[in-house]
Amino acid sequence: MSASASQPSRISSRPRNGEEDATKVRTRLVLAFGYILLVVIVALTIPLGINLGARARSEVESQALLSAQTIAAGIGKEGLVEGPALDRQTTDYASQIDGRVLVLNQDGAPLADSTGLPMFDNYATCLRPEVLTALGLACAPDGSFIHVPATANTIIRHSDTLNADLLLAAAPVLDEGKVVGAVRITENIQEVKVAVRNVRIGIGVIGLVGLTAGMLIAFALANSLARPLTSLAATARRLGNGDLSARAGDVGGAKEIQDLGESFDDMADRVERTVRSQREFVANASHQLRTPLTGMKLRLESAASDATDPALRHQIEAADVEVDRLAATVDRMLVMANQVEKGDATVVNLREIADRAVFRWHDRAEALNTTVTATGDGGDALANTVDLDQVLDNLIDNAIAYGAGPIELESGRRGSHVYLGVCDHGRGIPAAEQGLVTERFYRGKGTPSGGSGLGLAIARELAEKWGGDLRISEADGGGARIELQLRAVGAAPLP
């Protein structure tokens, strides 16, 4: 037989280590801050690098255009005469701009070249649109020329011969508004591109340095935030696990976190006072009730022995039974009032627990014409023997009171946990009530009179005290099966 796997477990997850919590919180804060900082740096540096490149190109083009116009104005119509004078003038201009200067007539034929290299017959071709624009021409789709307003212009073109990007600027030479020639200058802008690339790399390095510095600052800030919060969370778990003395104290950190710690301690004080007052009330009430109940039982027993009327004796005996039930309820209330975290955990074998229960309940089961038997290999768990004996006594008492037929105790190991099941063959527990019968004072529908509704509640609380749980299901062949599950020694916590 096995417990229904669909039954919900009341076992809470194992409390996490406080240092692990601090590391996780710190990591999340650092990653969040780093992501935001990275987005900001990328949003600033990429447009900055793009704008820097565009600005550098615009400035170089503007300077080249101005140089071309200045040279064209300096040569003028009178200077457009091929010869040594124009050659010297062209060379002087080239040294000033650190580039090449080419002077053309109005037809695009070369008149002078500062490099002294062999020149083409005509530079007014569709392959050199900057020259055409300066001469007031443009290429038509059929390859012919059309007249357009002459303007100075620039263009960047890659030179396969020099394996470099060249900036070409051309300006018309005018005479009373008429184009009489053109000047074209050529500058190597590879150095400008390298400089822009180096600046962009520098911006990237600055961004990385800023990101690193920001991450270090984020780590320091995360420490100041994570440690107080994880300390407060660890204290809250201690309080939730039953340590009523748990207090946050001076958690440090920001004022808001310190205020939270103080509020938590105030709440913990109130919880401790409330729980202790409830325990003291139940304990005091239970102790105060036991004395008059004992006296009442003695008087009823005496009255029953002295009664001569059978009907009267029956009533007195029935009252005596009710007194016994009331005394049992008081005893269980006292057990619940004393349900605090005490008692050392030891390695407990569930088969040994079952065998002791069989011995304890043998006489009573025989008197009720039933049997209590134990089977299975058991299994080792960390718990308190006295508590597990109490759990099993409550489960067997419940099976005898509301079940029928023989009572079977089954123990063994299933995966990471060990179990001890108590099966009876009575009417069973309806599925709708299986999650309720372990609540305090709950009595199922159609349950026979008698009982206090505390037996299974006590058993559940004792099981949870040692990290276990009660699982309720239908027994094979009918009846109820209530299974105690505990984590096996050396196994991971129950899910």
Residue range 100-128: average pLDDT? 88
pLDDT at 176: 86
pLDDT-derived band at 15, boundaries 50, 70, 90: very low
Residue with the bigger pLDDT between 260 and 183: it is 183
**The token pair that represents 397 in the structure block:** 């008492």
Please indicate, yes or no, if residue 169 is contained in any of the structural domains. yes
pLDDT at 475: 77
pLDDT at 297: 76
Kindly give the residue spans of alpha helices, DSSP state H, lying in 98-145. 129-135
Q: What is the pLDDT of the chain when averaged over all its residues?
A: 79
Residue with the bigger pLDDT between 258 and 7: it is 258
Give the distance between the most distant pair of CA atoms in the chain.
159
Domain containing 276 — which CATH number? 1.10.287.130
Stated pTM of the model: 0.41
Residue range 223-235: average pLDDT? 73
Q: Looking at the structure, do residues 72 and 148 belong to the same domain, yes or no?
A: yes
Amino acid at 269: D
Please indicate, yes or no, if residue 296 is contained in any of the structural domains. yes
User: What Cα–Cα distance (Å) separates residue 493 from each residue in 18, 69, 239, 382, 423?
Assistant: 18, 85, 20, 12, 26
Please indicate, yes or no, if residue 442 is contained in any of the structural domains. yes
pLDDT-derived band at 451, boundaries 50, 70, 90: low
pLDDT at 2: 37
pLDDT at 6: 34
Q: Looking at the structure, do residues 366 and 465 belong to the same domain, yes or no?
A: yes
pLDDT-derived band at 270, boundaries 50, 70, 90: confident
Residues in contact with 332: Cβ distance below 8 Å, sequence separation at least 6, in sequence order: 452, 454, 455, 458
Q: Coil, strand, or helix at residue 192?
A: helix
pLDDT tens-digit map of 406-433: 888 999 888 888 999 888 887 777 766 7
CA distance 388 to 391: 5
Please indicate, yes or no, if residue 371 is contained in any of the structural domains. yes
pLDDT tens-digit map of 305-359: 887 888 888 888 878 777 776 776 666 666 655 554 445 678 888 899 889 888 8
Q: Cα-atom radius of gyration of the chain, to the nearest Å?
A: 49
Residue range 153-160: average pLDDT? 86
Provide the Cα torsion 14, 17, 18, 19; round to 10°.
Answer: -160
Domain containing 23 — which CATH number? 3.30.450.20
Residue with the bigger pLDDT between 392 and 287: it is 392
Domain containing 431 — which CATH number? 3.30.565.10
pLDDT at 173: 93
pLDDT at 98: 87
pLDDT at 492: 58
**The token pair that represents 307 in the structure block:** 């009664």
Residue 8 has pLDDT above 60, yes or no: no
Q: Looking at the structure, do residues 395 and 268 belong to the same domain, yes or no?
A: no
Q: Looking at the structure, do residues 355 and 410 belong to the same domain, yes or no?
A: yes
Residue 481 has pLDDT above 80, yes or no: yes
Kindly give the residue spans of alpha helices, DSSP state H, lying in 137-254. 190-240
Please indicate, yes or no, if residue 247 is contained in any of the structural domains. no
pLDDT at 348: 86
Q: Looking at the structure, do residues 122 and 186 belong to the same domain, yes or no?
A: yes
- Domain count for the chain, please give it: 3
Residue with tokens 């299986």: 434
Structural domain of 454: 346-487
Highest mean pLDDT among 324-328, 478-482, 484-488: 484-488
CA distance 73 to 95: 17
Please indicate, yes or no, if residue 301 is contained in any of the structural domains. yes
Q: Looking at the structure, do residues 42 and 191 belong to the same domain, yes or no?
A: yes
Please indicate, yes or no, if residue 3 is contained in any of the structural domains. no
pLDDT at 449: 54
Residue with the bigger pLDDT between 125 and 50: it is 125
Residue 384 has pLDDT above 90, yes or no: no
